[in-house]
Chains A and B, each alone.
Chain A
């Protein structure tokens, strides 16, 4: 037998490409995909820009407040300014409150534009005061991570939802068209296995789709977001590409498998749409319900009630401080800084202490609350193995840094900072120490500590691997079945 110089697979690939170009299906599908990818990316970029601006604004405000405060403090210390206790920067209780204009902020991850994820639900800054953390941190809802239909037409949506439909459009009649048209008989009378035929067909279609959906967003990001150019980001981009490719392969494998059953094209299309509905729409919703049942969301009503009770109790505890008279109203001298000391109005001190008490009282409940959220998250992570749509959505948002894990980390760090903030002021308020100029520049500073890259990429890696494994299992099944297909 003479060696075969031209691999059959490449012949099939070239032939398929020509057929698809001639009958314009591919062109149409690619145009649709390009439009959607472009729009989805635009939406993601707009969101990222918006949030960049929010953080920039907040930081500007912080800066301005700081400058204003030190100017004010200088003038207060020089005795040039009439004094009102609540806006007196020398008063530690006032500085501990809203006067300082301190914020905890979290910047967008460099690839944020790839998926909106939780970023429109979760704050990317908190204003830090001595107020109870219940008041400023627990007023936002953490969405279940697979509330996929959150109404954003971002790139992740295009990939998770639209891409499988386009794969379906290109793949529902992978074999059935040849069979119905009659060309399958002539093809299969050649030394060509159906496995090779199907592989060639999938390769062309997949390359066409991936040639749009992968490079376009990455090139755009690299061009307009300089922070996306680091080595770490490059690895994430590679993972992202692998993920998208694996998900596309998964759906092509489904299409190939459906085609090996030997039904008509229209039946195949119906089956594909049904599978899409189940895997992308129904399964996530069902699993969402299941998680709600197995690990119910913590009750916000209970939290609100308990907070109210704790607040009332704490206020009662410092009742006598509250009822102290407004001495400074009749004796403004009392507000002056003397020997680096200042009289903190007892009402303000009471407020500071009461809020601290509220948090102490509510802490066990919050612990439970966070524990429940964490448990839910764990369950979500585990269940995400069941639906490829959830699996990829989780991984896409985690690459974009818009997943719930990152927001929870932000929340944790903010809590710690809040604690530090109070601890800084507590002795000053209790000992009536006035704020100095130096104090103003040495107030606790916020530093966002990014989640360790290794942790992120590991959680993405195994999802990529899982997706690839899933796709290969289905693909091999399809190829194995194809050898036993009878050709009518």
Chain B
């Protein structure tokens, strides 16, 4: 469903991605690990066509990301590390706007409230201006926007950053539920524990290269941590 084929991305002299090939199947939750600057966000940006690859190609559901940007984005929901919304609008209005763009129709208020609730936003905050929200509350609106889209693939860049532990857990449950419904998930994270818990597959990146891929049921949490640190040292 999500395929990166021999992707290289060069920023001037800096090679952010070096011949990365990666494939996420429907129903999988693929967790991308790696140190700061390893190239995780760059890979996500390439899938979103925010950046174009220097060489190689990316596909979503067999559609080329660069050649059919709008079509691929219909299949995709994205939650950035920092969800930024329109501060002058309420959480509900933000959700209403983004979901209307995403699916081409206005969802009824009741449905919007359900989505916000599913994302974990307190009901009484829904009509407050987003400017008054905490980071975690905005993140939850971002999750609701992604849910509204009912997308076939989820692209998540450290989606739980700013979420409190219980909210992060609830989010992991949402992911598992989505993957059970056949949704493809690619998420970057620094949280080895969650990666092992929720991920079906784990990739480790280092300096723009994908250095390790493993199934999470194959490793224990301790093994994963050891493996990760070993890669980081060498």
Does B69 interact with chain A (Cβ within 8 Å)?
A: yes
Chain B residues in contact with chain A, CB under 8 A? Answer: 45, 48, 50-52, 69-71, 73-74, 76-78, 80, 82-86, 88-89, 93, 97-98, 100-102, 104-106, 142, 145, 155
Contacts of A182 in B (CB 8 A): 80, 82, 84
A382 at the interface (CB under 8 A from B): no
Q: Given A22-B89, A183-B84, A186-B80, 17 other A-B contacts at CB below 8 A?
A: A5-B104, A6-B106, A15-B97, A18-B89, A19-B88, A182-B80, A182-B82, A185-B80, A185-B84, A189-B73, A189-B155, A192-B70, A192-B73, A193-B70, A486-B50, A487-B45, A487-B50
Find the B residue at minimum CB distance from A181.
Answer: B84
Can you list 27 A-B contacts (CB < 8 A)? A1-B71, A1-B74, A5-B105, A11-B100, A15-B97, A19-B86, A22-B89, A181-B84, A183-B84, A183-B85, A183-B86, A185-B78, A185-B84, A186-B78, A186-B80, A186-B83, A186-B84, A187-B101, A188-B48, A189-B80, A190-B98, A190-B101, A190-B102, A191-B73, A192-B101, A193-B70, A484-B52
A residues in contact (CB < 8 Å) with B:
1, 4-6, 8, 11-12, 15, 18-19, 22-23, 181-183, 185-193, 484, 486-488
Q: Write out the residue numbers on chain B whose beta carbons fall within 8 Å of the beta carbon of A191.
A: 70-71, 73-74, 101-102
Closest to A23 in B: B88
CA distance A4 to B102 in the complex (A): 10
Give Cα A144–Cα B203 distance, bound, in whole angstroms.
72
* Contact residue among B50, B74, B102, B106 (Cβ-Cβ distance under 8 Å from A185): B50
Q: Taking the nearest CB of chain B, how far is it from the CB of A145, in angstroms?
A: 46
Do B48 and A189 have beta carbons less than 8 Å apart?
yes
Q: Is the CB of A186 within 8 A of B106?
A: no
Contact residues in A for B48 (Cβ distance below 8 Å): 188-189, 487
Interchain CA distance A191-B73 in the complex, whole Å? 5
Whether A190 pairs with B73 at a CB distance below 8 angstroms is yes
Chain A residues within 8 Å of B73, by CB: 189-192
Residue of B nearest to A483 (CB): B69
A487 to B88, CA, bound (A): 23
- Closest chain A residue, CB of each to CB of B151: A189
Query: Within the assembled complex, what's the spacing in Å between the Cα atoms of A23 and B69?
Result: 32
Q: Give the complex CA separation of A182 and B86 in angstroms.
A: 9
Cβ A188 vs Cβ B50 within 8 A: yes
A188 to B89, CA, bound (A): 19
Residue of A nearest to B82 (CB): A182
Task: Give the interface centre of A182, A191, A193, A486 by most chain B CB atoms within 10 Å.
Answer: A191
Residues from chain B with a CB closer than 8 A to the CB of A188 are 48, 50
Check A189–B78 contact: CB distance below 8 A. yes
With beta carbons under 8 angstroms apart, the residue of A4, A5, A22, A186 that contacts B98 is A186
A residues within 8 A CB of B84?
Answer: 181-183, 185-186
